């Protein structure tokens, strides 16, 4: 694991490097940088490290200036003597915020947290890949449904349905053109016969069309709130467990 240290006090930087290497023998310290200007130059000229340990108060300003000017794709562990920057720190890629003097056990906890997050991320990617493979192996899906409407039997193209919704024990199909029809089947049955690349089971009540999704917002406790191009009786919520899978589906993965 390649680690970059941004710290303007050289003795503290060396001490931090030694502590990190004692905790994880596979760590390589790729640089020890003392200023905002130097850090911006280093990050623009070198490969992104796997992890950054960063002080906040540097010789020529706050380290947040670095992360505003350079796109950082790796996690950051902040080590600082000031606690007032906690919220601002977590607007970056921060995974931990350690107060000086930083004890070795706190550094180990932060590194353990990073390992856990990476392991979980790898599991999520494997799950998404397996789900994609299973979808590809499924047979052809229905493109239309026959719906009893008053005295008529109406063929409805599934791609024109904005969402299917469970209301008590009845399924309502709300069309992109705003018509509404009622079905005698269940969401579980619909989920088996329609293309999962187009429709996603957002929760127990909603099966939604990708083409009807106009936006997604972060919701309480890492859940997602989905906005559609048509009105819904309530906000459609995707649980935090399904959030990564849903976003991958929405992206077409």
**83 & 161 share domain:** no
What is the structure's pLDDT at 133? 63
Q: What is the pLDDT of residue 213?
A: 96
pLDDT at 168: 86
Whole-Å CA distances, 5 to 18, 20, 50, 63, 114: 11, 10, 11, 12, 16
CATH code (residue 241)? 2.40.50.1020
Rounded distance between C-alpha atoms, residue 101 and residue 81, angstroms: 7
Residue 9 lies in a domain: yes
- 210: tokens are 């990708």
Residue identified by tokens 């001490």 is 15
Q: Is the pTM of this model over 0.75?
A: no
Let me know if residue 132 belongs to a domain: no
192 domain residue, yes or no = yes
Is 80 within 8 Å of 28 (Cβ atoms)? no
Residue 79 within any structural domain of the chain: yes
Same domain, 80 and 163: no
Whether 123 maps to a domain, the answer reads: no
Rounded alpha-carbon distances, angstroms, from residue 185 to 10, 31, 146, 148, 149:
69, 62, 11, 12, 14
Query: How many alpha carbons fall within 13 Å on the CB side of residue 88?
Result: 12
Last residue of a domain, one of 47, 80, 102: 102
Q: Is 140 left (phi over 0), alpha (psi -120 to 50) or beta?
A: beta
Last residue of a domain, one of 102, 136, 158: 102
pLDDT of the residue at 232: 95
Domain-ending residue, one of 102, 131, 153: 102
Query: The domain that contains 73 carries what CATH number?
Result: 3.40.50.2300
Q: Same domain, yes or no, for 170 and 243?
A: yes
90 shares its domain with 178: no
**Cβ-Cβ contacts under 8 Å for 160 (sequence gap 6 or more):** 175, 176, 177
Residues of the chain with pLDDT under 50: none
The reply to whether 134 falls in a domain is no
Q: What angle do CA 232, 234, 240 make, to 5 degrees?
A: 110
- In terms of DSSP H, where are the helices of 72-229? 86-89, 104-137, 187-193
User: Does residue 242 share a domain with residue 148?
Assistant: yes
- Cα Rg for the chain, rounded, in angstroms? 25
Are 6 and 98 part of one and the same domain?
yes
Domain of 94 in residue numbering reads as 2-102
The count of C-alpha atoms lying within 13 angstroms of the C-alpha of 182, restricted to the half-sphere facing its C-beta, is: 7
The reply to whether 153 and 245 lie within a common domain is yes
Token digits for 243? 């959030």
In a domain, 94, yes or no: yes
pLDDT value of position 221:
83
Overall domain count for the chain:
2
């Amino acid at each position: 694991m390649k680690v970059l240290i941004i710290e303007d006090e050289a003795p503290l930087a060396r001490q931090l490097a030694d502590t990190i290497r004692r905790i994880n023998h596979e760590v390589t310290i790729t640089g020890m940088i003392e200023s905002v200007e130097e850090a911006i130059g280093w990050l623009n000229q070198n490969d992104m490290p796997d992890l950054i340990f960063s002080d906040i108060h540097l010789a020529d300003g706050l380290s947040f200036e670095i992360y505003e000017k350079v796109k950082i794709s790796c996690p950051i562990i902040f080590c600082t003597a000031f606690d007032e920057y906690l919220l601002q720190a977590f607007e970056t890629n921060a995974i931990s915020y350690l107060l000086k003097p930083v004890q070795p056990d706190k550094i180990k906890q932060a590194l353990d947290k990073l390992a856990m997050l990476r392991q979980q991320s790898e599991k999520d990617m494997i799950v998404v890949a397996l789900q994609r493979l299973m979808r590809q192996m499924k047979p052809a899906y229905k493109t239309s449904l026959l719906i009893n409407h008053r005295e008529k039997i109406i063929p409805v193209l599934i791609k024109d349905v904005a969402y299917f919704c469970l209301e008590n024990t009845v399924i309502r199909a709300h069309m992109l053109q705003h018509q509404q029809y009622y079905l005698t089947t269940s969401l579980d049955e619909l989920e088996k016969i329609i293309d999962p690349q187009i429709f996603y089971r957002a929760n127990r009540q909603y099966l939604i069309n990708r083409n009807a999704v106009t936006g997604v917002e972060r919701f309480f406790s890492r859940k997602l709130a989905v906005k559609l191009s048509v009105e819904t009786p309530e906000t459609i919520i995707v649980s935090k467990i399904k959030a990564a899978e849903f976003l991958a589906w929405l992206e077409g993965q």
